[in-house]
Amino acid sequence: MTKGITVKKAENFSEWYTQICGETGAQLVDLRYDVQGFLVHRPWSMQAFKKIYEFFEEEVEKDGHEPMLFPTIIPEEHLLKEKEHAGFTPDVYWVETAGTKKMDKRWALRPTGETQIYPIYHYWIRSYKDLPFKGYQSRITTFRNEMTTRPFLRGREFMFFETHNVYETHEQAKEQIKKDLEIMQKVIRDKLKIPFLFLQRPKWDVFKGANETFTSDSILPDGKRIQVSSTHDLGTNFSKAFDIKFTGRDSKEHYAYQTCFGPGIWRIFGTLIAIHGDDQGLMLPFCVAPLQIVIVPILFSKDEKQNNAILKECEKLLNELKDYKVSLDLSDRSAGFKFNEWEMKGVPIRIELGPRDLEKKQATVSLRTSKEKLNIKLTDLKKKISELAELNDKKLEDTANKYFKGNIKDASTLSEIKKIIETHKGFVRTPFCSVAMEGKTCADKLKAETGGVDVCGYLFEKQEKPTGNCPVCKKKATIVVYVAKSV
């Protein structure tokens, strides 16, 4: 089968993305399952997902979270218990028959974990000595009856990871927001090289049932904002609905404070593909690549002795590099075909070994992120790998950061915002009247007049001082917000 992407990412991102995920691309998913929005995850994507899950598990465990696993189904009555949160109900799938028997009470396929976990936290939390309690569920999936679906960006069943924490005080809950930000920085910024803004959402756009919502937002190559994580400050809303109380240091009963955090595993992977990939295929950070190094023997001649010598050297290399994810491609395809294949799959380091290399006791090394070929002494190769991996990753990081930073623009009037959104991509930073509920009228007007630009939120890490007026109502601005079109 001829592999390859037939469009340019810069010209038609949407089609490029579909192709890179599919059969003639990097074979990340199979869309032929016959049910819309339910994906088959192929080995190449699953190996990357395993790493991404491991990164998050490691970080949340370091922060004192313990693993748990709750059922896939939620009884309907639990789902309806928190009034605002019950807003999820119209989007869920219902199990209504068990075997051949219609059920008395129906179950939802879980749309998110709050209403399944908190009835049990009611039993687990008794005293301040039980707090803080930090639990997480990993490698699970969740379900929403979405109308439009795209691989890794929006699905009817998608990969999930969630933490659910309980504290004595609101201060402790707020401290967790910072820790969740740090986890996102460690995993998606430092390891996966995905730049993002950590924003506090305006009041009219918080999670159903939450007091405050904080998100990590990145920018896709088509300029659309994509949310890749959310942390919710639930206050005592859910602890009141689910009766999560503890005896405090004062011997009195108190409702507990809660937060929950969900890095969007699917969306993080989708964003990784989208941001780093090029017209030849995937580009992957070394730490997440299913195959980190591929060795390709170059066998031109019919000289059996020479070919055997090359193959022997390749086998030796394979053995030397076995601490990495390394493979020796001995298939009967041409070298050119192999190069294309492994470029499409995003293998960071390719090592070629041909007759001339053998003669010079060297290998020809290519990084996926660079056109340059390097000649490296065979005896030096092993100790050079970590340096080569860093070079590969540095290039990804620089390119991603340049794109990201170049697509956050300033504007102070509605017409400036419109102009930027039409000709540029990403976020526009602008003064705004208010992120409390009273600002919603301006946000709605902004959205209507710009063909769908949302007020995403304001920086959590630093308070930016606004100058001038709200571009919509012209009142004196109280805050600096980031607006963008969303996925």
Rounded least distance, CB 382 to its own copies, Å: 22
Other residues' Cβ atoms within 10 Å of the Cβ of residue 487? 19
Are 282 and 276 in contact by the 8 Å Cβ rule? The answer is: yes
**97 near its own copies, rule: CB under 8 A:** yes
- Between 155 and 235, whose beta carbon lies closer to its own copies? 155
Pairing of strands 427-432, 479-485: antiparallel
**186 near its own copies, rule: CB under 8 A:** no
Residue 297's alpha-carbon distances to 266, 318, 324, in angstroms, are 36, 11, 18
Reported as half-sphere exposure (CB side, CA atoms, 13 A), residue 20 has a value of 30
- Which stretch, 31-39, 205-213, 371-379, 454-462, contacts its own copies (CB under 8 A)? 31-39
Which of 63, 91, 190, 320 contacts its own copies by CB under 8 A? 91
- Between 49 and 167, whose beta carbon lies closer to its own copies? 49
Site string for its own copies, 146-175 (x = CB under 8 A): -----------x-x----------------
Looking up tokens 């068990």, which residue turns up? Answer: 98
Segment 51 to 90, residues that bind its own copies, using CB under 8 A: 66-73, 75, 78, 90
Q: Say how far apart CA 371 and CA 392 lie, in whole Å.
A: 11
Which of 2, 32, 305, 322 contacts its own copies by CB under 8 A? 32
Phi-psi bin for 390: left (phi > 0), alpha (psi -120 to 50), beta? alpha
Number of residues in contact with its own copies under rule CB under 8 A: 53
Rounded least distance, CB 93 to its own copies, Å: 5
Strand partners, 229: 216, 263
- Between 263 and 431, whose beta carbon lies closer to its own copies? 263
Are 19 and 25 in contact by the 8 Å Cβ rule? The answer is: yes
Structure tokens at 209: 């049932």
- Between 94 and 339, whose beta carbon lies closer to its own copies? 94
Q: Say how far apart CA 39 and CA 153 lie, in whole Å.
A: 12
- Between 22 and 221, whose beta carbon lies closer to its own copies? 22
3-class SS of residue 461: coil
**437 near its own copies, rule: CB under 8 A:** no
- Between 30 and 190, whose beta carbon lies closer to its own copies? 30
Which of 43, 64, 406, 451 contacts its own copies by CB under 8 A? 43
Q: Say how far apart CA 210 and CA 205 lie, in whole Å.
A: 10
User: What DSSP character marks residue 203?
Assistant: G
Segment 108 to 147, residues that bind its own copies, using CB under 8 A: 109, 116, 119-120, 123-124, 129, 135, 139, 141, 143, 145
Rounded least distance, CB 34 to its own copies, Å: 6
Rounded least distance, CB 108 to its own copies, Å: 10
Rounded least distance, CB 1 to its own copies, Å: 8
Q: Which of 74, 80, 115, 87 is nearest to 208 (CA)?
A: 87
Q: Say how far apart CA 463 and CA 331 lie, in whole Å.
A: 57
Which of 39, 173, 328, 481 contacts its own copies by CB under 8 A? 39
User: What DSSP character marks residue 190?
Assistant: I
Largest Cα separation within the chain, whole Å, is 87
- Between 325 and 447, whose beta carbon lies closer to its own copies? 325
Segment 320 to 339, residues that bind its own copies, using CB under 8 A: 331
Q: Which of 278, 282, 301 is nearest to 291 (CA)?
A: 282
- Between 119 and 457, whose beta carbon lies closer to its own copies? 119
**33 near its own copies, rule: CB under 8 A:** yes
Q: Which of 393, 282, 296 is nearest to 47 (CA)?
A: 282
Rounded least distance, CB 479 to its own copies, Å: 36
Which of 95, 330, 436, 437 contacts its own copies by CB under 8 A? 95
Rounded least distance, CB 472 to its own copies, Å: 34
Q: How far is CA 415 from the centre of its chain?
A: 33
**198 near its own copies, rule: CB under 8 A:** no
Rounded least distance, CB 157 to its own copies, Å: 5
3-class SS of residue 294: strand
State the first-to-last Cα distance of the chain, in angstroms, to the nearest integer: 32
Q: Say how far apart CA 449 and CA 423 lie, in whole Å.
A: 16
Which of 11, 34, 104, 422 contacts its own copies by CB under 8 A? 34
Q: How far is CA 89 from the centre of its chain?
A: 25
Pairing of strands 212-219, 225-235: antiparallel
Taken as a whole, the chain contains a residue count of 487
Rounded least distance, CB 270 to its own copies, Å: 15
Segment 414 to 433, residues that bind its own copies, using CB under 8 A: none
Rounded least distance, CB 452 to its own copies, Å: 24
Looking up tokens 């001339």, which residue turns up? Answer: 356
Site string for its own copies, 209-228 (x = CB under 8 A): --------------------
Q: Which residues bind its own copies (CB under 8 A)?
A: 30, 32-35, 38-43, 46-47, 49-50, 66-73, 75, 78, 90-100, 106-107, 109, 116, 119-120, 123-124, 129, 135, 139, 141, 143, 145, 157, 159, 331
